[in-house]
């Protein structure tokens, strides 16, 4: 496995440009397959999730041509295969999104059980329930899920809890389904709005209600044209560099990011004592004084993102006092805390005392287990010790990198492949800010 050799303890300074969003780019590649006409996507990040999506799309009939370092043209004149291959399909959550174009254009989709980061159970029942109301039959086996339909029907569906994956798949499926589909309690992520923008530029009729943005109406159209679309910038990447600046007591100017997309994060670190300067498409994050402890709960958009939680824990290790972090989106997402414990961090796990768990948590309670903790207290500030760390998911890998940069001394991070799923040339870009990282690729 590839590794980083990190020499920490150096304040990071300089400027960095944010790449296209991982959680928008691969989904828009898949959405392009709803049309037989060419679509050009720009601001495409060079990450392994894009390569996995490209490999699957080609096996299903797409032709993909890179027109620049961060742009590609994808043309799917005909779907030639309704089965997502097991090998590449199991590597990423990407595979599940292919159900939409396959169903729309062939009436069938056979998808391997989704892979991706090890975050505990990710419920798909909300999507399955909506699919069934759209006249889509679902058969589950040990290795795959088969979807089939003689004719997709429009529906009016109220999600019991918001789900960005289900919202996106239903939008894509309903786009060229005859009739009007209405989704209520839809997810609010800006990546979804970017998908809607792209599909509407292809001729779709999708409207997020202005007074109640949790309602999305899709008026089906007979077909879609191609388009040229620039992918939104990656707000998770922006948060990563912001945390790197504060954890190392540095100052970083972050370019090509709309600060409004990470507004909740910015308000949080400002409350802790960070200095923030914003423009229309850039911001500067600076450490100016010791950070104060804070209590955080992850929530659906526009709340504090669950994807920010692992990255944010590095700041809590350096904050003065006891901070608490409660994970409400997944039944368990604290695997990364062990990394910090191995580096000398003192933590205490707990479960919040609440009256109505079904209303409080956004995961399905049947996926909870007695051994799972939903909260953790982190006591700081802590002088982290260098360590050898093996990672097995994307955000834990990013946290390990930030922790190694914070610790005085030399650390080794094994499993860089997981980091490359969502970050383009992370080590190289951190080095441009003054970090000392040797990348050993195997």
Q: Tens digit of pLDDT for each residue in 215-267?
A: 999 999 999 999 999 999 999 999 999 999 999 999 999 999 999 999 999 99
Q: Return the closest-CA partner of residue 378 out of 333, 337, 421.
A: 337
- Residues 212, 313, single domain; the answer is no
- Residues 215, 257, single domain; the answer is no
Total domain count, the chain: 2
- Residues 8, 36, single domain; the answer is no
- What is the rounded CA–CA span in Å between residue 55 and residue 49? 10
- Residues 158, 273, single domain; the answer is no
Q: Which of 230, 251, 277 is the last residue of a domain?
A: 230
- Residues 423, 299, single domain; the answer is yes
- Residues 128, 70, single domain; the answer is yes
- What is the rounded CA–CA span in Å between residue 228 and residue 42? 8
- Residues 261, 154, single domain; the answer is no
CATH of the domain at 254: 3.65.10.10
Digitized pLDDT (tens) for each residue of the chain, 442 residues in all? 899 999 999 999 999 999 999 999 999 999 999 999 999 999 999 999 999 999 999 999 999 999 999 999 999 999 999 999 987 766 666 688 999 999 999 999 999 887 544 444 445 888 999 999 999 999 998 888 999 999 999 999 999 999 999 999 999 999 999 999 999 999 999 999 999 999 999 999 999 999 999 999 999 999 999 999 999 999 999 999 999 999 999 999 999 999 999 999 999 999 999 999 999 999 999 999 999 999 999 999 999 999 999 999 999 999 999 999 999 999 999 999 999 999 999 999 999 999 999 999 999 888 899 999 999 999 999 999 999 999 999 999 999 999 999 999 999 999 999 999 999 999 999 999 999 999 998 8
- Residues 240, 162, single domain; the answer is no
- Residues 256, 403, single domain; the answer is yes
What secondary structure does DSSP assign to 160-213, as a single string?
SS--HHHHHHHHHHHHTSSSEEEEES----HHHHHHHHHHHHTT-EEEE-SS-T
Q: Which of 230, 246, 279 is the last residue of a domain?
A: 230
- Alpha-carbon torsion, ordered 419, 425, 431, 433, to 10 deg: -100
Six-digit token pair at 243?
A: 């945390």
Q: Provide the β-strand partners of residue 440.
A: 3
- Residues 166, 33, single domain; the answer is yes
56 neighbors 89 (Cβ within 8 angstroms): yes
What confidence tens digit (pLDDT) does each residue in 152-197 have? 999 999 999 999 999 999 999 999 999 999 999 999 999 999 999 9
- Residues 296, 388, single domain; the answer is yes
57 neighbors 83 (Cβ within 8 angstroms): no
Q: Which DSSP symbol is given to 94?
A: H
Q: Which DSSP symbol is given to 328?
A: -
Domain that holds residue 199: 22-230
- Residues 152, 294, single domain; the answer is no
For residue 313, the Cα-to-chain-centroid distance in whole angstroms is: 17
Q: Which of 184, 205, 230 is the last residue of a domain?
A: 230
């Amino acid at each position: 496995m590839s590794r980083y050799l990190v020499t920490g303890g150096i304040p990071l300074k300089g400027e960095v440009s944010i790449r296209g969003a991982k959680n928008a780019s691969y989904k828009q590649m898949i959405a392009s397959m709803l049309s037989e006409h060419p679509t050009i996507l720009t601001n495409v990040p060079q990450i392994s999730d894009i390569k996995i999506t490209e490999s699957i799309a080609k096996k299903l009939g797409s032709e993909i041509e890179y027109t620049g370092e961060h742009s590609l043209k994808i043309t799917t004149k005909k779907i030639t295969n309704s089965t997502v291959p097991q090998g590449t399909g199991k590597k990423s959550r990407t595979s599940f999104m292919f159900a939409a174009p396959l169903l729309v254009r062939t009436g069938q989709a056979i998808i391997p059980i989704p892979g991706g980061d090890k975050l505990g159970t990710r419920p798909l029942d909300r999507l399955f329930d909506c699919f069934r109301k759209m006249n889509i039959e679902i058969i589950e086996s040990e290795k795959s899920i088969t979807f089939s339909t003689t004719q997709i029907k429009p529906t009016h569906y109220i999600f019991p809890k918001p789900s960005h994956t289900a919202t996106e798949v239903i939008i894509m499926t309903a786009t060229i389904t005859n009739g009007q589909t209405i989704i209520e309690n839809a997810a609010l992520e800006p990546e979804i709005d970017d998908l809607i923008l792209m599909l509407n530029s292809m001729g779709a009729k999708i409207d997020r209600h202005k007074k109640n943005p949790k309602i999305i109406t899709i008026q089906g159209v007979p077909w879609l044209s191609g388009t040229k679309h620039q992918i939104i910038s990656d707000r998770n990447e922006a948060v990563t560099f912001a945390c790197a600046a504060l954890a190392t007591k540095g100052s970083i100017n972050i370019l090509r990011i709309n600060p409004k997309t990470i507004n909740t994060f910015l308000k949080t670190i400002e409350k802790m004592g960070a200095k923030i300067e914003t423009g229309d498409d850039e911001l500067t994050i600076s450490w100016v004084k010791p950070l104060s402890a804070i209590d955080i709960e992850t929530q659906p958009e526009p709340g504090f993102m669950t994807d920010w939680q692992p990255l944010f824990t590095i700041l809590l290790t350096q904050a003065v006092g006891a901070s608490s972090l409660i994970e409400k989106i997944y039944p368990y997402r604290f695997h990364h805390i062990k990394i910090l414990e191995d580096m000398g961090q003192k933590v205490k796990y707990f479960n919040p005392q609440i009256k109505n768990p079904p209303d409080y948590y956004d995961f399905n309670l049947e996926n909870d287990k007695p051994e799972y903790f939903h909260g953790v207290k982190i006591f700081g500030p802590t002088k982290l010790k260098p360590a050898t760390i093996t990672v097995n998911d994307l955000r834990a890998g990013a946290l390990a990198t930030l922790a190694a940069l914070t610790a005085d001394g030399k650390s080794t991070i094994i499993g860089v492949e997981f980091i490359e799923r969502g970050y383009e040339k992370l080590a190289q870009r951190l080095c441009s800010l003054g970090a000392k990282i040797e990348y050993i690729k195997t």
